[in-house]
């Protein structure tokens, strides 16, 4: 099933997408519980609705599972070569802002103070059932479905704040695209290869020009392994989103900058439209718009180190 969350005639609905139309599910149906529920509404053309993010996640973990992406971005940000040895030990992730989630066709404001905006082409798994300390085999039953994930990144803000050693902050805080639908896990099973990876074609376009192509199966960990790691010593709960991390071969501009040694293509600017397509799931397409000016915050004050 393809589950959409959308606005139609001023009301929010959860519905099943059938070709070019969507049919509403009973009021109160959650996208996480929609599988097997029969639609009750009439068929409405998708062109007549506004698609929203398929769900409102309580948490978003964003992993970094593509070796090629790590190589390129490290070269771009701090001119380092290769991949840190620690990366190979476990599927590392950080938590990003669930309040920054936008829909598949919403505008994206430039983050305040940024001059170097980038996209990141990812796929996200969505948790449908709570669990903790899961094995990868157990984790498969906890994934309800998948969606396209664009981790918008202010590279200049990110580069500066990463020097503090805490990870990304305002560089990742303005927008995260999810959509266009939640595609239930069973629909993607035919794409699973013999190693357990989903072999889906990924394409990134800027203003209609293809800048990146990869396969999701180039991940170094499966989604089940990622879920298992995320659940180690804690809970994953329904609605949690786990991003694959950015794919390689042009899954973001920063990787290309690292490979080419210059900002080619140039950073995104207002008016640019980024379209990301994932085989078996669909496309999201967002246009960059002017964002707000940054509010003034003072620099750190040098303090004494008095003790009581």
Q: Is the pLDDT of residue 77 over 80?
A: no
Tokens of 299: 């620099």
d(CA 183, CA 43): 19
- What residues make up the domain containing 26? 2-51
Per-residue pLDDT reduced to its tens digit, 259-308: 898 999 999 999 999 999 999 999 999 999 999 999 999 999 999 999 99
Per-residue pLDDT reduced to its tens digit, 205-233: 999 999 999 999 999 999 999 999 999 99
DSSP 230: H
pLDDT recorded at residue 1: 96
pLDDT band for position 75 (50/70/90)?
Answer: confident
pLDDT recorded at residue 81: 73
Structural domain total, the chain: 2
CATH of the domain at 46: 2.30.30
pLDDT recorded at residue 93: 97
Judge whether 244 lies within some domain: yes
One domain for residues 94 and 191: yes
One domain for residues 40 and 83: no
The backbone region for 251, taken as left when phi is positive above 0, alpha when psi lies in -120 to 50, beta otherwise, is alpha
Tokens of 161: 């704040």
Mean pLDDT of 116-121: 98
What is the DSSP annotation of 76-114?
Answer: HHH---S--GGGGGS--EEEE-GGGEE-TT--EEPPTT-
One domain for residues 8 and 145: no
pLDDT recorded at residue 78: 66
DSSP 198: B
One domain for residues 98 and 19: no
Q: Nearest Cα to 121, choosing from 286, 278, 279? A: 278
pLDDT recorded at residue 241: 98
pLDDT recorded at residue 192: 98
């Amino acid at each position: 099933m393809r589950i959409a969350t959308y606005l139609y005639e001023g009301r929010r609905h959860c519905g099943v997408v059938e070709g070019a139309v969507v049919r509403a599910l009973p009021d109160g149906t959650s996208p996480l519980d929609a599988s097997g529920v029969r639609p009750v509404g009439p068929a409405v053309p998708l062109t007549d609705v506004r698609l929203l993010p398929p769900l409102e996640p309580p948490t978003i973990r964003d992993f970094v599972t593509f070796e090629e992406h790590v190589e390129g971005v490290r070269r771009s940000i701090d001119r380092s070569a290769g991949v840190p040895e620690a990366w190979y030990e476990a599927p590392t992730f950080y938590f990003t802002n669930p309040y920054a989630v936008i829909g598949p066709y919403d505008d994206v404001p430039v983050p305040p103070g940024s001059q170097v905006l980038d996209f990141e082409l990812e796929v996200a798994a969505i948790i449908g059932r709570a669990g903790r300390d899961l094995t990868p085999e157990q984790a498969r039953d906890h994934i309800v479905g998948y969606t396209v994930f664009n981790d918008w990144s202010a590279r200049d803000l990110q580069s500066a704040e990463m020097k503090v050693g805490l990870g990304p902050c305002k560089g990742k805080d303005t927008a995260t695209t999810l959509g266009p639908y939640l595609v239930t896990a069973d629909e993607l099973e035919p794409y699973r290869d013999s190693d357990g990876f989903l072999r889906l074609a990924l394409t990134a376009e800027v203003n209609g020009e293809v800048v990146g192509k990869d396969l999701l199966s180039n991940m170094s960990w499966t989604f089940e392994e990622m879920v298992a790691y995320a659940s180690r010593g804690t809970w994953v709960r329904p609605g949690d989103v786990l991003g694959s991390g950015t794919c390689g071969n042009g899954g973001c501009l920063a990787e290309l900058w690292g490979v080419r040694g210059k900002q080619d293509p140039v950073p995104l600017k207002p008016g640019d439209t980024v379209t990301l397509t994932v085989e078996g799931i669909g496309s999201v397409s967002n246009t960059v718009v002017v964002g707000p000016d940054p509010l003034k915050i003072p620099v750190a004050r040098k303090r004494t180190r008095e003790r009581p």
